[in-house]
Structure 1
Amino acid sequence: MAAANTSQIFWGVHAVFRLFLLDQNTGNYLVFQEQTERRFHGMKLDWGFDKFLSLKAFSESANGFLMDDTCVFGVEVFVSKERSMGKGECLSMVKDPVMYKHVWKIDSFSKMVAECLDSKTFSSGDQNWKIQLYPKGKGSGMGSHLSLFLALADPKSLPPGSKIYADFTLRILDLMNSRHQYGKVNFWFSAANPERGWQKFITLSFLSQAGMGFLLKDTCSVEAEVTVHGIATAL
């Protein structure tokens, strides 16, 4: 454990963990797991295995652990942050996450009267998403900007305490010059915080400016790129 709080005598983090060593020949992992929960604290910063693997087995090329003088280790940690209250969180990271792109074409843009427009639902990382667009702005952007957000399509379906970690890019496409207006950010989405975006994404005057290509024949195209990297669930 790094940066342990040694000033608090009774402070500690309880965790169960597994250590991995990659067999680069097969893509499989050699796994060692602690069978009991361990307490990390100021006087005991580390736990592990004195005899994780013999040097002979580690160095043997046929085993695939050391290839071209390179090895790959990994760890999974399940932490109980508030032991006395029985609370904890399990974080599962997505191996080789896949980016999903969704394009939303909006016709007759100037005739839209709704305060908020929702795109069709799309899926990324086993989660359903939607783009939310406010033609006349929202919050601090009201009346002067177009506001644009990415949102969970059905946040109430998440189990209590669950969070989705994703990075995403939202764009308004320049249909003439390919000089797109975009914003990029990462965020923990949850039932309590189901949306993230920009109240001042682009000014309404710049959006409608002739020759810019954001509104072409009263059509606007919005694009979302979403990559889910991990899911946290309550223990």
Structure 2
Amino acid sequence: MAIEESCSGALRSTSVAPPAHYILKIQQFSLLTKQHVERYESNEFEAGGYKWKLVIHPNGNRSKNAGEFVSAYLAMADSASLPPGWEVYATFRIFLLDQNNDNCITIEDEMSEGRRFHQLRTEWGFDKFICHKELSESYLHGDNCVFGAEVFVSKEASKGKTESLSMVKDAVPLKFTWIFDILKVDLFLESSKIFNVGGHKWKILLHYMGVDDANHDFISLKLALADLDDLPSGTMILAEFTLRIQDQLNARHEERKASRWFSASKPDWGWNRFISQGTFFQANRGFSLKGITSIEAEVAIHGEKTVFG
């Protein structure tokens, strides 16, 4: 490999060896510029245990004022699958085949320790890889050209924690109805069947005699997460929910509404004094019609926070 020049922090050299990891052949290169293709990404290729892409800006990277040049970059591919806090240091070369002399020019960064790829910077390369004039005079053969890439991972690390908050636009509430014989429930705690909303399992909790001695004259109702064993540590779910005891005679339902964050440390929310037993059993109300009670949960998931690492 012969060193030709060094400029702008990049080392340019000539090599007779082809690129070891990826070759990108482009036919009718001028059509990319005429069709105003701003960015072309190659297929993924593997090197050093990671997946990469070669990225070409035929008309130069406009954000870098490189309009008279072709810009070329190396980009991490599928970075979303990497562990939290990932860092990869890599040295790399980008090649351009000189088809007349059967060799390649290569551009590599002079940073001997390599560039640091991470979650906020997944792409490194050269804004002014080669000017259009030099490309057309020396490296286009019948309007075809060949790029290449070599990547060598020098150091990698995974550290720290990553928090991801995903909010849901226009969340749609889902309903679940629990019908049962109130005279046959456990006096202390009864649970509904499990139902699914927002990718999580839920259930309704009913304390017929209240949650403690101070509330034994009241029926308690709560919404609870039912998949705690599968819930990742640090996960929190923002749920807007309504619990409703249906009046089967007059449609004068008893209901409460709230919006709360649910988590493994706080898996349920509700009301210790949802309704008094005196009101519940009033003859002119249909909360217990021949012993049958109908409770409805209406749940919408507005967001979810997950912490990794």
TM-score normalised by the shorter chain: which range applies?
A: 0.5 to 0.7
- Spell out the pairing of 1:135-146 with structure 2 (5 A cutoff): 135-139=208-212, 142-146=215-219
TM-score normalised according to structure 2 size: 0.47
Q: Which runs of 5+ in 1 are unaligned?
A: 1-50, 52-77, 79-84
Partner of 1:106: 180
- Spell out the pairing of 1:1-235 with structure 2 (5 A cutoff): 86-107=160-181, 109-139=182-212, 142-235=215-308
Q: In the comparison of the two structures, how many residue pairs are matched?
A: 153
Distance 1:111 1:200 in 2: 21
Distance 2:214 2:240 in 1: 23
Q: Which has the larger radius of gyration?
A: 2
Q: Please state how far the C-alpha of 1:141 moved relative to its aligned partner.
A: 5.4
The one-letter code matched in structure 2 to 1:167 is: E
Question: Are the aligned partners of 1:141 and 1:199 in contact in 2 as well (CA < 8 Å)?
Answer: no
TM-score normalised according to structure 1 size: 0.61
- Provide the secondary structure at the position in 2 that maps to 1:206: helix
- Provide the secondary structure at the position in 2 that maps to 1:96: coil
Instruction: For residues 192-227 of structure 1, give each alpha carbon's deviation from its aligned partner in whole angstroms, at most 9, with x where no partner exists.
Output: 100000000000011011111111111111000000
Q: Which runs of 5+ in 2 are unaligned?
A: 1-62, 64-118, 120-158
Partner of 2:88: none
Report the RMSD for the aligned CA atoms in angstroms: 2.1
Counterparts in 2 of 1:189 and 1:140: CA distance versus 1, 3 Å: farther
Percent identity of paired positions between Structure 1 and Structure 2: 45
Distance 1:162 1:111 in 2: 36
Question: Are the aligned partners of 1:141 and 1:147 in contact in 2 as well (CA < 8 Å)?
Answer: no
Q: Please state how far the C-alpha of 1:142 moved relative to its aligned partner.
A: 3.0
Counterparts in 2 of 1:171 and 1:153: CA distance versus 1, 3 Å: same
Counterparts in 2 of 1:145 and 1:114: CA distance versus 1, 3 Å: closer
Distance 1:118 1:165 in 2: 22
Distance 1:194 1:95 in 2: 24
Partner of 2:6: none
Q: Please state how far the C-alpha of 1:114 moved relative to its aligned partner.
A: 4.1
Distance 1:200 1:88 in 2: 39
Distance 2:204 2:221 in 1: 7
- Provide the secondary structure at the position in 2 that maps to 1:216: coil
Answer 1 or 2: which has greater strand percent.
2
- Provide the secondary structure at the position in 1 that maps to 2:178: strand
- Provide the secondary structure at the position in 2 that maps to 1:228: strand
The one-letter code matched in structure 1 to 2:172 is: V
